[in-house]
Homo-oligomer: A and B are copies of this chain.
Amino acid sequence: MIVPVTNMTNLYGRDLITTQDWSVAEIEKALSLAFEFKANRYDHPLNNCLDRRTFFMFFYNPSVRTRQSFEAAATELGGHAQFLEPKSMRLKSSKSAGETVEDAAQVMSRYAVGIGIRILETAIDYYGQGEELLRQYAENASIPIVSMAHDKFHPFQGLADVMGYRQHAGKNLKGKKILQVWGKGALVRSWCSVQESLLINSRLGMDVTLAYPKGYDLDPEVIKMCEDNAAASDSTFEIVHDLEEGYKGADIVYSRNWMTANFYDLMAKHGEAEAKKKEIEIAAKYDDWITTKDWMKKSNNAFFTHCGPVDRNAEVTDEVCDGPRSIVYDVAEARLHVQKAVMALTMGKH
């Protein structure tokens, strides 16, 4: 649902495809409500704001944590999240008869108060296609469309990350150095979490250092946005390929594996299994790209964070992940609270 810019102080009816689409004031409003929900899990005044309302969850790709936390979020607000796998949905395409996205979006707007969509990796043919589908739904639905992770962005993960930092590092993140570092491993992960996190961190005034082995460049359009965000918030954004430089003085360390820019092309040409195999071969060359206690010693006694699920002893050692500065479970919990907050603000009765 596209809401006129003049209305943007009120979040009711708004889509959330990336936090970059929201103003900093709007992001802060959502985070503030998320902290209220955390403090008052079942008795907040807004806790029944989805009373008997339906939220549709469209999982083009499966995900346990996202499904669990969204369905729990709707339940805690008095509503119900329907778990839908669109493979059972006959959508019209160039190749087959079926319903158009326009019709599906309009009809679903009659039944529900919001729609979440997850689409990435094997469900799409090229990078950017997931984003296109979300934008197409948003244009045609009269209820909010929110991303539950797609090829480009993962807005609720970005919000949850920030909620976790603030819980431990304090509300004012301005001037804190965050290292966002590529981690080895065999999971060939999508770009959505790290890109969303880079955007919101630079937006909120953190000094962001992005570190990865050469060849793991992210979307240049997103990198450009991060640079603009840093300029607007009077903070810094830099890319390094050296671990020493990355960890030095960091207040927060965020590790995550991600795929190369070639993955979708490889999948189109050779199929999923072969594409993953090739990606895993490349990743295996960077054996020291794992967050260890030794690397953490170079930091400013940093908190360790991860958007989850953690690939232990690949992205990070057990020692760090289970250590006293790890905030990974609190960040995971934060997903629930930020999802409740955004649902309440954009879809709740009022």
Contacts and interface: CB of A to CB of B under 8 A. Distances in A.
A82 B310 CA distance: 23
27 contacts: A48-B52, A52-B77, A53-B76, A54-B75, A54-B76, A62-B88, A64-B88, A67-B82, A67-B84, A68-B84, A68-B108, A71-B82, A72-B111, A72-B112, A75-B80, A83-B83, A97-B185, A97-B314, A99-B308, A99-B310, A103-B310, A103-B312, A107-B329, A107-B333, A110-B329, A110-B333, A110-B336
A72 B54 contact: yes
A86 B104 CA distance: 26
A76 B329 CA distance: 31
**Could you say how many copies of this chain the assembly holds?**
3
Contacts of A333: 107, 110-111
Given A72-B111, A187-B97, A42 B51 contact: yes
Nearest to A89: B64
Given A68-B82, A89-B64, A336 B186 contact: no
B71 A332 contact: no
Interface residues of A, number: 59
Interface in A103-122: 103-104, 106-108, 110-112
Contact of A75 (B68, B79, B96, B329): B79
A192 to B, nearest CB: 16
A92 interface: yes
A111 B69 contact: yes
A90 interface: yes
Given A64-B89, A106-B329, A107-B329, 19 more contacts: A42-B53, A42-B349, A54-B76, A63-B88, A64-B84, A67-B82, A67-B84, A69-B111, A71-B82, A75-B79, A90-B187, A92-B311, A96-B186, A97-B311, A97-B314, A99-B309, A103-B309, A103-B310, A104-B309
Residue among A107, A108, A112 with the most chain B CB within 10 A?
A: A107
Nearest to A52: B76
A72 to B, nearest CB: 4
A299 interface: no
A65 B107 contact: yes
A98 interface: yes
A52 B80 CA distance: 10
Interface in A14-67: 42, 47-48, 51-54, 56, 62-65, 67
A68 B329 contact: no
